[in-house]
Amino acid sequence: MRIDSHQHFWIYDRKRDSWITDNMQVIQRDFLPPDLEPLLHQHNLHGCVAVQADQSETETNFLIALSEEHRFVRGVVGWTDLKAADVEAKLSGFKNFKALKGFRHIIQAEAKGFMLHPDFIRGVQLLKKYNFTYDILIREQQLEEALAFIQLLPDQKLVIDHIAKPLIGHDRSYWKQYITEIARYENVYCKLSGMVTEADWSTWQASNFTPYLDTIFHVFGSKRVMYGSDWPVCLLAASYSRQLQIVEQHIQSFSDTEKQAIMGENATGFYNL
């Protein structure tokens, strides 16, 4: 089964979605399952994982409702306040929704130290009890803190979104050092997603991503890596077809078993789809 492990849906709201600035007009509109389904069919993908873009439980419930209406939305990564005193009660309640597989916080927008706050660590530690995963959304400069975070969570299923958002085309030494160390932890996976928007949106070439992908496969192997489109955000820099082509061309010499793992089986196992 081929799975897009990372995409978003929203009904565009200029105030709520203020992160979508005026130089991002191509995504200043609604994106819903009927927009994505033909793209999945076109590329022989059998389902997707819808990931939160807004930090609210309204967003989580919105995505759950979409998954109930559209069977190809096989999983949801939502949001809840993992620092809240009543977080366990919230997680217990959310466990009633089969499609909800895990949670994410937009750490890339937080101040240094957020990941290591005792209340946040406590909330993430509780996820395992309810069989929830956690998506780590960070920028390259937050990798050192992310490593310390990961070291406190040896039994929690974790996945690095967007290969930790390195600045494509710039010095890779810091990113490579910490992504290599993080990959030593067997409970941590990595998504091949969100790469085109970390490069120059209008001038990138597929070869720009080769050294990053080489590193990811070297340190994580093929069993802890999963494809994700980051649609519709990817449209800022690439069509659905073009961003998918980057990954598929890179793995064209891999074995069929490895390709199946990267393009769906790893996501299916990680998220229990």
pLDDT of 165 reads 98
pLDDT of 46 reads 98
pLDDT of 261 reads 98
Q: What is the pLDDT of residues 178-234, one digit of tens each?
A: 999 999 999 999 999 999 999 999 999 999 999 999 999 999 999 999 999 999 999
Measured CA to CA, the distance from residue 244 to residue 193 in angstroms comes to: 9
% the chain with pLDDT above 90: 100
CA distances from 41 to 75, 100, 102, 117, 235 (A): 17, 23, 25, 42, 18
pLDDT of 98 reads 97
| Residue 68 pLDDT level (bands cut at 50, 70, 90) | very high
| Residue 51 pLDDT level (bands cut at 50, 70, 90) | very high
Domains of the chain and any CATH numbers: 3-271 (3.20.20.140)
Q: What average pLDDT does range 262-267 have in this prediction?
A: 98
At residue 133, the 3 state secondary structure works out as strand
Q: What average pLDDT does range 28-41 have in this prediction?
A: 98
Q: What is the mean pLDDT of the chain?
A: 97
pLDDT of 226 reads 98
pLDDT of 125 reads 98
Beta strand pairing call for 225-227 and 100-105: unpaired
With residue 67 as reference, give the H or E element that holds it: helix 57-69
Q: What is the pLDDT of residues 116-168, one digit of tens each?
A: 999 999 999 999 999 999 999 999 999 999 999 999 999 999 999 999 999 99
Measured CA to CA, the distance from residue 189 to residue 219 in angstroms comes to: 11
pLDDT of 85 reads 97
Report pTM. 0.97
